[in-house]
A = this chain, B = another copy of it.
Amino acid sequence: MSLLENNSVVYKEVPVGLPTEENLEIVTSKVSSSAPEGGLLIQVLYVSLDPYLRGRMRDPSIKSYTPAFSTNEILYNFGVGRVIDSSAPEFAKGDIVKSSITQFTMYQAVPNEGLKFFNKVENPNRFPLTYYLGVLGMPGLTAYYSFYKIGEPKKGETILISAASGAVGQLVGRLAKHEGLRVVGSVGSDEKVKYLKDELKFDEVWNYKEISPVEAIAKHIPEGIDIYFDNVGGELLAAALVGMNNYGRIIACGQISQYNIPNPEDRYGIKNTMLIVTKRLKVQGFIILDIYDKDAETVTEFEEAVSKLLKDGGFIYKEDVIDGIENTLDGFIALLTGKNFGKVSVKVST
């Protein structure tokens, strides 16, 4: 047994507003090069960065749908890694594994009782491994489940997608095109506008930094919105209510525009919720973690359907890979402020 030098991202304290180096600190330590008894030693390859992690960095006395992170623990999320030592019969050295508790660290020792969170990745289609954190992972299921089950899409309808170039938004857009909807997106840069129109074949896309949501909707969606896929909340949600058609559906997926406003009183106040009544709208929230337990059938259907679309070609998925664990904080801030482009992961090793 020897010792390996290990860098990790440690969660130090609850951020106020955007996280800083005070909140997420790089810590160097040593780890044994052998797997724990009955467990694994994993070289972490990629860890996913997702907006919901900000919600877990909160005062633990505030209840929410995911547990708060504990301070002084290594930050963790969905990730993929390679087994470099195994003392568990189900796994062999060299196996690629994925888990929901992959640490932002170079080497992760997994004790026997942690094995239940790890699954082998077979990858017969030789997709990039990051796909298992994005289009084939939790963000992919988020898009797939909510688009079909809450959105109830019908051919010829119009969908508006906010944060449309993100991990979830871009897949919603592709699925909606696949189903014959008119697809409109809101993004935060001209580069993203061009990409979504040229590569992902969105019908219309605007840069929300250059036009107000009310103007953008009036200009680009004169026929009205049938489904609004809401990743951002705030001003765009209020404007979407104005633009919705009767019997429209709002998929309430997240409100990234509001996550870093420390004082709840400073959040955007929606004054036109009466339109939910007069337009007979359905606004439905969901948490994708529920679905893994509750609706395993849809999870399988999703994996098969999206793998097939990706394999057949013509179905691409934009990713934004942060190189090196030491850049985790900068990558997370970019994600929270819309500066990323595509599904974000941190590459720890190759």
Contact = CB atoms under 8 A, between A and B. Distances in A.
A279 B252 CA distance: 11
A64 B278 contact: yes
Interface stretch (A22-30, A185-193, A265-273): A265-273
A273 B65 contact: no
Contact of A269 (B270, B275, B285, B287): B270
11 contacts: A64-B278, A65-B279, A65-B280, A237-B273, A270-B273, A276-B284, A280-B286, A280-B287, A281-B283, A281-B285, A282-B283
Copies in the complex: 2
Interface of A: 55, 64-65, 233, 237, 246, 252-255, 258, 264-265, 267-287, 290
A269 B270 CA distance: 5
Contacts of A252: 273, 276-277
B284 A233 contact: no
Contacts of A290: 280
Contact of A274 (B233, B246, B277): B233
A273 to B, nearest CB: 6
B258 A274 contact: yes
Contact of A282 (B65, B254, B280, B284): B284
